[in-house]
Structure 1
Amino acid sequence: MFSQQDAPITVLHVDDDEAFLDLSKATLEVHEELVVETETDAEAALERLRDGGIDCVVSDYQMDEMDGLAFLTALREFDSDLPVVFFTGHGSERVAAEAIHAGVTDYLQKGTDKAFLFLRNRVQTLVANDRAARAAQEAEARVRQLYERISDGFLAVDADWTVTYLNSPAETLFDCTADDVVGRPLGETLPALTERAFGAGLRAAVDDGESRTFEAHYPPLDRWISVVAYPADDGVSLFARDITEYKRAETKVEEMRNRVDTAESQFRTLREKVSRPAAPFR
């Protein structure tokens, strides 16, 4: 199955030496996985990058109209993550330090026998890592979107009982914000969830390694909450729902049943008294 990781790598090589760009394109495109676009003008290169579709930038440092550092600084204003390799013959420790500070991803010297081999390998590695990181971010974003669509409150803690995620319904349910809770111990931020029935239910799920469903009263907000806890190797996730109205209705039904039972008992007693034959007059 085709994935983004298998797609050809599109490289934009920026250098004011057109003959060197032709050599770079011919050398790198020997490998079918690389597609090389070239540009001798840094401003034009920035416009091309704004259009998107470039996986990696290779840039010279010393160019007439705009040097590599100025080009890199301008690029980082609208794309902070795109891999950028300085491929230059005018290197120094000072230039390398300035490039790293400006956000360059790697720095290679021209002029060696294996310069293009090193460049090709570095480009492939950087793009593979970048694509993997982006795929992980996209997957995480999809998971978070899924959690946000859930109408129930969702809360996750790691193996140390540190809160790692809290969706919007959970913020409403527990009257807190994700900013105040995520990254902090559950017992510190929402201590009632670690006590009494809540704590017992969550610990039982973790200890048994099996999901647990339970209902418990949440004293801080005087709410009844239904919880389904799912343990995992790296922590436990719980889905929570406010069932206060249900519990109130349940209590009312129970009160009505008690009243009916009392009334029936009183009626039976009265009927027994009425059905007894009257005592004869003496």
Structure 2
Amino acid sequence: MTKPYRILIIEDDPDDVELVLLGFSKHEEFFVDIATTGEEGLEKIPKTRYDLVSVDFALPGISGLDVLEEIRKADQDVPVVMVTGRGTEELQVVAFEKFATSYVIKSVDSLRSLPTIFEALINEARFRFEERRMKKDVERSETVSRYILENSPMGIYVLQNGCFKMVNSKFGEIFGCEKVDLIGEHFWSLADPESFECVESTGKDASSKRSIVKELRIVRKDGSKRWVEARIAPLDYQDERWVLGSLVDITERKEGEKDLLMGNIKLTILYSLALNAIDFRGREEDLMKEALSELMAGLKGFDVGGVFLLEEGRLVLQALEGPLEVLMGFVDQVDPQGLLERGETKMLDDVDRPLFWVSTPFCNGEERRGLLVLGREKEIGPDFLEFMDDIAWHLGKMMEIFLLRRSHSEKV
């Protein structure tokens, strides 16, 4: 059973408080206290052992940064999340300089997603607390250390020459196998090669004696993939180099971060489409080019994109980003008319590589109006297809508003 989470939200805006409470309403494991000023929050903190404190940047009276500073004077470990409606790089730097755990920019989606993010941060803080406690127990006796290792909620391992010499039961559970099956395996043979470019490190290289933290995806024995945080601490023993490490499953946290990122990207794109709908002064094809350009810039990672409009029963290319021959290679291998029925993802061979494609139709009112197509080398999942269906719907609405506005202007 999940251990309850006690959190404190310091927020003066009643609308934001309502959104936050709405997000937590379906999470019975959270017990939420509210403070509307920094002073009230600082009075509550010594009376309750909170698992996490969320602080609004702009508060009446004492500021959010001052509240953060006062909390850190008394407690260096409790996760403190700074929440602001004015997300700038400078504010983020200052918040982390004052030892904020995380930083969230206010939006409807981000406030509703707080339970997922907060749970991951709390579990991470509990893990680090547990890790310190375990190290002290190891120093007491070898018997106690073995007991703790086998009952640890985190995966623990020992490496020599890059291969596993010891792992605990939790480590085997993370990989979906018995721990004995991992002995002798090389550490990096169990990692997903695609995640190497996503690895994040802190500390120095392995030649130093400081710990290293890496986030990467691992491949379980059943072929499924999970995100983990690996902590690596080099140890010298009897002229040999060993590595003591721990592993924690952070898949839910990474998915929460991805959801927040995609939510922010969607808001940016929809804002741009809305502005174009009410303020664009060019031709229809120029509007399509502008919308596609901003969409590709917001998503990133896509090699090619195109917008087709349905004219006299045929799809005609109106906007292009990337090589024309690559997009035409996609068109030659599919039935464009069939793609107008529903959104789809496909993997098709290009000249020297496979490309993954997503196509979504869009409408003008009830009428099918065109097709939005994007392609890249990285695989496209069903969650992204749902994202693109939403974008295509708004693209159709942008065109509908644009054409209505142009028609009205011509009549005037």
TM-score by length of structure 2 reads 0.34
Q: Higher helix proportion, which one?
A: 1
Which structure has the larger Rg over C-alpha atoms?
1
Tell me which protein shows more strand as a share of its residues: 2
Length-normalised TM-score, structure 1: 0.49
